[in-house]
Chains A and B, each alone.
Chain A
Amino acid sequence: MMLTCHEMTELVTDFLERRLAFPRRLSFQLHLTMCRHCRRYVAQLKTVTRTLRFLPVAPIPPDRREELLGQFRGMRRGPGHPGPSPA
């Protein structure tokens, strides 16, 4: 079963997620060996996906962090223990 390039661009996510059944996966890989455009497309999609894993994330503002730690401390013997903390 020969895949067109257009079909390849629709299957690429399933391929990268290892969701393709063997026959189709084989067709996909075969097409890649023969088509540099699709090779480039898949590589670019892979790059973007891997880059997303390392997006910078904002740390929690210090005052909020303190507030939360205060809540945690206020639970005395540890969170989720039954009963109110002693006065």
Chain B
Amino acid sequence: MLRQPPGLCSASRRKSWQREDQPIPRQKFVAPDEDSELLKRLLDGDEHAFAELVDRHHGSLIRLARVYVGDSSVAEEVVQETWLAVLRGLGQFQLRSTLKTWIFRILANKGKTRGAREKRFVPFSALAGTGSRESAVDPSRFTRAGAWAAPPSPWDEETPESLLMNQEAISCVEQSLEGLPPGQRAVVLLRDVEGLDPQEICNILEITETNQRVLLHRGRSKIRRAVEEYFGWKKR
């Protein structure tokens, strides 16, 4: 519980991190039980534990690796190297983060190095361009007063469950994700696909919270737009 400076009236006695300009405070991290157990099994040489870990994360790691290095086979190399680094590092891993975050951080480092070597990697923070005026929705869809002039129309599939049953819509989402600029793609991947916390993401990608918010916002908005087009929204 954060201490409030004296003299603040009760109306403003909300947690400081709820103000937009304040970062969310870093609480002392406690590793989930399942991570502690898995780590113990891994250190004991339990092969099934390692198989579990690999099965759980390999595909996700490939996805993020591709953001850094594009080409599929290079991405596979980066991920293989990551797993080897995980094996070498397990003995020193202190559970100061989740296993997942730790593994993704290793991948991000390797991806960055390899991306730089292949001369493709641009720091994600440089792409966040918080100064730039990119709008989530085409401004021409609003009146000058800011009200909807060309509002969204209903989709054939409106729930995640029904959307997931629509193979073409899913392909649309996947393609849209893959087509995002790298920074947006990485953040949407880690936040929405992988479910990592904003702080973990900033750590992994070496970006600020502002970067992360902007990238997430733009990425999500673009994907929504792509699905909207797929469901046949036509500009009037």
* Residue positions of A touching B, CB distance < 8 A: 4-7, 9-10, 12-14, 17, 19-22, 24, 35, 37-38, 40-41, 43-45, 47-60, 64-65, 67-69, 71-73, 75-82
* Chain B residues within an 8 Å CB radius of A47: 155, 158-160, 163
Instruction: Tell me whether A80 and B213 are in contact in the complex, defined as CB-CB below 8 angstroms, given that A6-B142, A21-B19 are known contacts.
Output: no
Number of interface residues, chain B, beta carbon within 8 A: 66
Please tell me if the beta carbons of A80 and B90 are within 8 angstroms of each other in the complex.
Answer: yes
* Chain A residues within an 8 Å CB radius of B155: 44, 47
CA distance A58 to B14 in the complex (A): 44
Please tell me if the beta carbons of B91 and A65 are within 8 angstroms of each other in the complex.
Answer: no
* Chain B residues within an 8 Å CB radius of A24: 20
B44 within 8 A of A: yes
Name B4-50 residues within 8 Å CB distance of A: 14, 18-20, 42-45, 47, 50
Nearest CB on A from B236, distance (A): 14
Please tell me if the beta carbons of A73 and B47 are within 8 angstroms of each other in the complex.
Answer: yes
Please tell me if the beta carbons of B217 and A13 are within 8 angstroms of each other in the complex.
Answer: yes
In the complex, residue of chain B having the shortest beta-carbon distance to the beta carbon of A52? B192
Please tell me if the beta carbons of A51 and B160 are within 8 angstroms of each other in the complex.
Answer: yes
In the complex, residue of chain A having the shortest beta-carbon distance to the beta carbon of B59? A57
Our pick among B54, B90, B92, B213 for the contact of A13 (Cβ within 8 Å) is: B213
Please tell me if the beta carbons of B50 and A72 are within 8 angstroms of each other in the complex.
Answer: yes
Please tell me if the beta carbons of A48 and B50 are within 8 angstroms of each other in the complex.
Answer: no
Instruction: Tell me whether A79 and B18 are in contact in the complex, defined as CB-CB below 8 angstroms, given that A55-B173, A69-B51 are known contacts.
Output: no
Please tell me if the beta carbons of B59 and A69 are within 8 angstroms of each other in the complex.
Answer: no
CA distance A47 to B169 in the complex (A): 12
CA distance A10 to B152 in the complex (A): 15
Name B182-236 residues within 8 Å CB distance of A: 188, 192-193, 195, 198, 213, 216-217, 220-221, 223-224, 227-228
In the complex, residue of chain A having the shortest beta-carbon distance to the beta carbon of B198? A17
CA distance A21 to B91 in the complex (A): 43
Nearest CB on B from A12, distance (A): 8
* Chain B residues within an 8 Å CB radius of A77: 45
Please tell me if the beta carbons of A49 and B90 are within 8 angstroms of each other in the complex.
Answer: no
* Chain A residues within an 8 Å CB radius of B44: 78
Please tell me if the beta carbons of B193 and A53 are within 8 angstroms of each other in the complex.
Answer: yes
Please tell me if the beta carbons of B51 and A65 are within 8 angstroms of each other in the complex.
Answer: yes
In the complex, residue of chain B having the shortest beta-carbon distance to the beta carbon of A65? B54
Please tell me if the beta carbons of A58 and B50 are within 8 angstroms of each other in the complex.
Answer: no
* Chain B residues within an 8 Å CB radius of A76: 45
In the complex, residue of chain A having the shortest beta-carbon distance to the beta carbon of B92? A80
Nearest CB on A from B52, distance (A): 11
B129 within 8 A of A: no
In the complex, residue of chain A having the shortest beta-carbon distance to the beta carbon of B217? A13
CA distance A59 to B137 in the complex (A): 35
Nearest CB on B from A69, distance (A): 6
Nearest CB on B from A23, distance (A): 9
Please tell me if the beta carbons of B137 and A6 are within 8 angstroms of each other in the complex.
Answer: yes
Nearest CB on B from A50, distance (A): 4
* Chain B residues within an 8 Å CB radius of A72: 45, 47, 50, 87
